[in-house]
């Protein structure tokens, strides 16, 4: 019973945080552009509207199951990331999983996306998926290298143990291992579809890319998934680098500060082309990552 309530609470918390964060993003973006912008609830309205629209498209069963696979990936990722430390609540099934499992679950989304878009047969969707998978090549390598560095540093793959090791500000991952944080931060923006790396869903180039065929309810499912997945990744970074959180308010504050950082970065940089993005990922974050691995492995006294 506790597990069921806890899981539902985690899904609810990540959904609410998701639409509020993205609502804030849109308003903040508008203020930077000297507009008033929509209300902070705008993403909730958009999402609910899509859930109550009709869906008349038929592209075979895979077109329907693709979003469900993506959604299942988002739910399981949320449930395997511990939201709080030293607490019985908002844990989900995180004691049965570890960082390596979470890395696997992060790939479920792009897989389902490719399956659904492939069965729709829309050329713009296929273009979007091609761009997405090319970009994935660029961003996954530094992202996983950064996570590997965190695992090496703490000599464990358990998110709980990594959180427990960061008991004070001086032991936060961002202080003890700033290189890993920098290595992860840029691919993290890419995996959130943030602005310098948002070539996949470019609205006027490839007509929303992978989402081109989705309208109505399935688009609502995809929107929900994106918001929840973003929150899961934000919370994961909070767990790994900002020492986790002991209660929900601290969690929101830390996740929000991280979100603000990525938002500000993506607000001031224009969109990169696909090959520029891959080049960038393989030069800057990956170079930094290799340097970090050398420092972590061969000079353990430095990083510890």
Partner 1 sequence: MYHKTQCEGFQCEQAMLEVPGEAESIRQGVLERLVSWMRHRSLFVLAYGTGCGAIEMRPLMTSRFDAERFGIVGAATPRQADVLIVSGYLALKTLRRVIRSYEQMQEPKYVIALGSCTINGGMYWDSYNTIKQVDRYIPVDIFVNGCMPRPEALIEGFVALQGRIKNGEKGGYHHYREHIDWYKANQRKVLGDQIPPTYTCDWYHAGGVV
Q: Kindly tell me which residue out of 12, 60, 123, 203 binds partner 1, with binding defined by CB under 8 A.
A: 203
Under the criterion CB under 8 A, does residue 198 sit at the interface with partner 1?
Answer: no
Between 2 and 34, CB nearer to partner 1: 34
Site for partner 1 in 22-51 (CB under 8 A): 26, 30, 33-39, 42, 44-46, 48-49
Between 126 and 278, CB nearer to partner 1: 126
Under the criterion CB under 8 A, does residue 207 sit at the interface with partner 1?
Answer: yes
Between 43 and 77, CB nearer to partner 1: 43
How many binding residues for partner 1 (CB under 8 A)? 32
Q: How many CB atoms lie within 10 A of CB 290?
A: 13
| Residue 251: partners with Cβ closer than 8 Å, 6 or more residues away | 83, 84, 235, 238, 245
Under the criterion CB under 8 A, does residue 204 sit at the interface with partner 1?
Answer: yes
Binding span for partner 1 by CB under 8 A among 71-79, 102-110, 171-179, 206-214:
206-214
Under the criterion CB under 8 A, does residue 273 sit at the interface with partner 1?
Answer: no
Three-state secondary structure string covering 179-245: HHHHHHHHHHHHHCCCHHHCCCCCCCCCCCHHHCCCCCHHHHHHHHHHHHHHHHHHHHHHHHHCCCC
Site for partner 1 in 217-236 (CB under 8 A): 219
Q: Which of 157, 185, 298 lies closest to 241, judged by CA?
A: 185
Q: Kindly tell me which residue out of 108, 213, 225, 243 binds partner 1, with binding defined by CB under 8 A.
A: 213
Under the criterion CB under 8 A, does residue 53 sit at the interface with partner 1?
Answer: yes
Smallest separation, CB 201 to partner 1 (Å): 8
Q: What is the DSSP letter of 271?
A: P
Smallest separation, CB 96 to partner 1 (Å): 37
Under the criterion CB under 8 A, does residue 214 sit at the interface with partner 1?
Answer: yes
Counting every residue written for the chain, the total comes to 304
| Integer Cα distance of 20 and 26 in angstroms | 10
Between 38 and 118, CB nearer to partner 1: 38
Under the criterion CB under 8 A, does residue 126 sit at the interface with partner 1?
Answer: no
Q: What is the DSSP letter of 95?
A: G
Smallest separation, CB 217 to partner 1 (Å): 9
Long-range CB contacts for residues 177-180, cutoff 8 Å, separation at least 24: 177/149, 177/150, 177/153, 177/241, 177/292, 177/296, 177/303, 179/149, 179/288, 179/289, 179/291, 179/292, 179/295, 180/146, 180/149, 180/150, 180/153, 180/241, 180/289, 180/292
Between 267 and 284, CB nearer to partner 1: 267
Q: How far from each other are the two terminal CA atoms of the chain, in whole angstroms?
A: 41
Contacts with partner 1 by CB under 8 A lie at: 26, 30, 33-39, 42, 44-46, 48-49, 52-57, 203-204, 207-208, 211-216, 219
């Amino acid at each position: 019973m506790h597990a069921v309530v806890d899981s539902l609470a985690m899904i609810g918390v990540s959904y609410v945080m998701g639409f509020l964060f993205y609502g804030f993003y849109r308003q903040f973006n508008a203020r930077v552009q000297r507009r008033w912008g929509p209300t902070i609830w705008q993403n909730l309205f958009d999402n609910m509207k899509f859930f109550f629209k009709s869906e008349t498209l038929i592209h075979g069963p895979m077109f329907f199951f693709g979003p469900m696979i993506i959604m299942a990936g988002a739910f399981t990722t949320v449930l395997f990331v511990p939201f709080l430390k030293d607490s019985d609540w908002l844990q989900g099934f995180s004691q049965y999983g570890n960082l390596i499992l979470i890395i696997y679950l992060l790939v479920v989304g792009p897989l389902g996306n490719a399956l659904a878009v492939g069965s729709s047969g829309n050329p713009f969707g296929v273009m979007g998926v091609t761009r997405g998978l090319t970009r994935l090549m660029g961003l996954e390598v530094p992202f996983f290298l950064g996570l590997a560095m965190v695992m090496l540093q703490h000599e464990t793959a358990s998110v709980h143990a990594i959180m427990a090791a960061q008991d004070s500000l001086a032991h936060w991952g961002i202080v003890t291992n700033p290189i890993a944080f920098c290595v992860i931060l840029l691919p993290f923006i890419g995996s959130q579809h943030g602005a310098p790396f948002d070539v996949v869903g470019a609205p006027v180039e490839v007509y929303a890319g992978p989402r081109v065929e989705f309208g109505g309810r399935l688009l609502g499912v995809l929107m929900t998934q994106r918001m929840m997945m973003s929150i899961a990744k934000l919370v994961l970074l909070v767990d790994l680098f900002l020492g986790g959180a002991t209660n929900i308010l601290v969690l929101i504050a830390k996740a929000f500060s991280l979100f603000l950082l990525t938002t500000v970065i993506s607000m001031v940089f224009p969109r990169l082309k696909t090959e520029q993005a891959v080049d960038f990922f393989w030069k800057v974050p990956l170079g930094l990552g290799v340097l970090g691995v050398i420092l972590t492995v061969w000079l353990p006294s430095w990083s510890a």
